[in-house]
Structure 1
């Protein structure tokens, strides 16, 4: 697909964003953000009036309605660098409320596969957010989004936890898992134990950057993830039902925010 912009500083053509292929007015200002592009269609299948909007690279966007609440879903791809691009372009087309919907690994003994984790803040173990602001700047979810997610989880009677998330740049070594040939450097060998002792609830790879950028640019952000990796008991499972549960809670939270 050809694309020509009048500026390399802000690559867009007629308001069309380079990576997401979105422009102002294409989608509602409330967006769920999964990582996996294939998860977008699964989420929107739970809504009414589903409509394809754009699909380029890892950024797949659809929109629809959930109990009369208008919302959209855009995949970010894996990790904070890809998330930062999606956030930037969604912000440019008018989005003001972002909820990450994803999977995670649990760190605490009272957490099990299938539980939901609502993030209040994040340990910024990623690199992308540090391009935007100093490491000491906090990654905090917007309180209105946190409250809406909790209210939605209670209404739908699902098991959930609320607390701090650790966001890493890598899936294996960054989260204390041995890499190829058992490679695990000393500075990451105790990351699981350190985060567990600090009462961090879960590992994932995007929330820290999302929350940081939300505060920087004055918009609402939050995150809800379903536990697929029980790191305490060394178990792993992911089902469609688990993904749907997380997506429904996030969709209900958007409905609450629009009331």
Structure 2
């Protein structure tokens, strides 16, 4: 005989506190719970549906399309919990929305970075699948994010992101009292030489889990730190949110075009209808 325990597969998810019908098919995933009202502020309407620990969830509508957002906290372990529990209540598309550090020249603070794939420099995804499994963003999500950035006239870059488990040592920054992890002095330069665009902490796990489960994922982040110039400013804070929100509406149109064409999935030849 066993005692009562919380079932993570119950009708209401253990960590997020959401159930079926609480969220839309597409969910935007910021890290900071305080970014939720900033995201919903660009929508037509929204209401908070759950709040527990670092996870705050709101659902609403943007440009006629149902949309939700859930904060994940900092890092891949908590982001993986969010993806797991949102998938259990029917979510099929995940858009990471956040901030990042740029590591290539010619990238300005306030620019957007749209992830095409990610370096898995974090441990969470390795607990799911072998280390050489790719963390690829869904091509439809990337296309929708690019189209949204173009329509909003925001400067953006598309390419490979590095996701880490540490804001300090894992990103080549000194730790307490100047501590330097082995290899940290070469980390950023090695990533730069590999044409990696930016560093953040969640995209690789979100993309890996989505691929494992046959779902869609991608990421768009605003550049706050430029590791080439040393600049750090919270400029263009809502640009990633606006881009991801519009991309959600465009994805709905893309899916509709595929259905109308009798195609299994959207492809560029179907286009995206104008607003």
Give the Cα separation in 2 of the matches to 1:110 and 1:248. 23
The normalised TM-score by structure 2 is: 0.89
Give the Cα separation in 1 of the matches to 2:41 and 2:4. 38
Q: 1:129 aligns with which of 125, 128, 137?
A: 125
RMSD (CA atoms): 1.2
* Match in the other structure for 1:248: 242
* Match in the other structure for 1:101: 97
SS at match of 2:184: coil
* Match in the other structure for 1:35: 31
Question: Is 1:63–1:71's contact at 8 Å kept on the other side of the alignment?
Answer: yes
How many angstroms does 1:188 deviate by?
A: 2.3
SS at match of 2:72: coil
How many angstroms does 1:52 deviate by?
A: 1.1
Question: Is 2:65–2:252's contact at 8 Å kept on the other side of the alignment?
Answer: yes
For residues 1-259 of structure 1, the aligned pairs below 5 Å read: 10-13=7-10, 15-239=11-235, 242-259=236-253
Give the Cα separation in 1 of the matches to 2:148 and 2:249. 9
Structure 1: stretches of 5+ with no match in the other structure: none
The normalised TM-score by structure 1 is: 0.94
1:147-166: CA deviation from partner (whole Å, max 9, x where unpaired) = 00000111111100000000
How many angstroms does 1:238 deviate by?
A: 0.3
Give the Cα separation in 2 of the matches to 1:186 and 1:64. 46
**Structure 1 runs of 4+ off > 6 angstroms?**
none
Question: Is 1:139–1:208's contact at 8 Å kept on the other side of the alignment?
Answer: yes
Give the Cα separation in 2 of the matches to 1:187 and 1:132. 26
Give the Cα separation in 1 of the matches to 2:217 and 2:78. 16
Aligned residues: 251
Give the Cα separation in 2 of the matches to 1:208 and 1:182. 28
SS at match of 1:181: helix
Give the Cα separation in 1 of the matches to 2:145 and 2:216. 13
1:114-157: CA deviation from partner (whole Å, max 9, x where unpaired) = 00000000000000000000110000000000000000111111
Question: Is 1:6–1:12's contact at 8 Å kept on the other side of the alignment?
Answer: no
1:51-103: CA deviation from partner (whole Å, max 9, x where unpaired) = 11000000000011111111000000000000000000000000001000000
Question: Is 2:9–2:88's contact at 8 Å kept on the other side of the alignment?
Answer: no
How many angstroms does 1:189 deviate by?
A: 2.2
